[in-house]
Amino acid sequence: MYFYIYDSFLQEKKYKRTISKIETRLATLDISGSKRRLTALKSVQEIVRSLSKNESPTIVVIGNDQTFCKAATAMAGTDSVLGFIPVKKDSEMAKILGIPVNEYACDIVSARRVEKLKFGEVNGKKFFSSISFNASKTILKADQKYQIIPQKTKKIKIVNLDLLRFNKADESEDFKRIASNPKDDYLEILMGRPGKKFLFFKRKQELDSLFFVEKLEIKPKKSKHSVDINIDKGKDKIQAPATVNVSNQDISIIVGKDRLI
Amino acid sequence: MLGKNQKIKPEDAETIIGAGVKVDGTFTAFGNVIVKGQLLGSLKTESDVSIKEGGSVDADIKAKNASIAGKVDGNLEVNQKIQLANSAKVTGDINCQVLSIEEGAILQGNCKVGGEKNATPEPEVETEE
């Protein structure tokens, strides 16, 4: 049984045509299903938990990366399968999973090529894509063996499933890996200075360091420092000290042929 | 869109210690290691180590190959080849199969180049009579 979760921003008039094309394509492929809409009162986590009670459902998120990541973490450890129809052209998850945007993604959902992917955990809270925080006030202890002390680095990103860069600026030539590997027992630590745009001037990102760790402790340099850890590029935050590791739960995700993982 | 063949296997993965980062402790990697920053403690990998100009390592190093353009203060035990660039400054003993030194490189320490690979002695077996 297919269930489709529509992101709340899709109620805007400009998406009406896109949604109509997606629904037509789903009907043509004979994979139409039950619809759920996100509202201010209904979170994606609530909807996913109630749908997961059905027998082996296929839950498809129509929306953006943040909603897809929230749905994924809510589905951890269930036997549900998660699909994604991205409607934002700059979707990084779409690029990593090899899914085209809008109605073209329906064919990927229909082909149903499934991969099992892992989660990351920060203080027991799951994340699907990455967590990030300011580097200047933190010390990292990796795998109980060595400390990583940022000195001129501005930002740290710990990646489970994401592109190994901070934003859309060009990649450093040292970084041969394009995306992380969410199927192994390692998380990638990416450090550097993110790119910025000032009116007509664009500062390139500077990727400095890349490490692979199984377990990581994030500590503030001084007890008076407060370090906010941002989860999955959304509004969820937790405070350091924190322990980060790979979760032992996984999720089945529908991917495309051109995936980067 | 980028092809699937562009992903890299874990053993090929490169750990990069950037110029703005200091690492302190027992550092063990499963792929190549590039050092542009500072490393204290020990460094061990089954692949290659590259210490770039400006990089500084105050540690014993064990690796398959080593290419050094920065500063090393520690012993190097390398299975195959060590390359010292003209900006390299090494203080410590070197043990490898092949050593290449560019004009201008500084090396202070004992060198053991060539000889048997894996020259570790066979363990003695005690027999009861």
CB contact under 8 A, B20 and A151: yes
Residue A52: the pLDDT is 84
B120 falls in which pLDDT band (50, 70, 90)? very low
In the predicted model, residues of chain A with pLDDT beneath 50 are 169-171
Can you give the pLDDT at residue A182?
A: 85
pLDDT digits (tens, 9 = 90+) for A228-251: 899 988 778 888 889 999 998 889
pTM of the model: 0.83
Chain B positions with Cβ closer than 8 Å to A:
1-4, 6-8, 10, 13-30, 34, 36-37, 41
pLDDT of res. A167? 57
Residue B122 has pLDDT above 60, yes or no: no
Q: How far is A146 from chain B (nearest CA, A)?
A: 4
Phi, then psi, of A72 in degrees rounded to 5: -60, -50
pLDDT of residue B6: 44
Is the pLDDT reported for residue B31 higher than 90?
no
For residue B45, the model assigns a pLDDT of: 93
Report percent pLDDT > 90 for chain B: 70
What's the pLDDT at B116?
A: 64
Quick: pLDDT tens for B41-89. Answer: 999 999 999 999 999 999 999 999 999 999 999 999 999 999 999 999 9
Tens of pLDDT, residues A86-109: 998 888 899 999 999 999 999 999
User: Residues of A at the B interface (Cβ-Cβ below 8 Å)?
Assistant: 95, 98, 145-153, 174-179, 181, 184, 186, 191-192, 207-212, 257-261
Is there a contact between A209 and B1 if contact means CB atoms under 8 Å apart?
Answer: no
Hey, of A95, A117, A149, which one would you mutate to test binding to chain B, going by the most B CBs within 10 A of its CB? A149
What pLDDT, on the 0 to 100 scale, is given for residue B52? 92
DSSP chain B: ---GGGS--GGG-EEEE-TTEEEEEEEEESSEEEESSEEEEEEEESSEEEE-TT-EEEEEEEESEEEESSEEES-EEESSEEEE-TT-EEES-EEESEEEE-TT-EEES-EEESS-TT-PPPPP-----
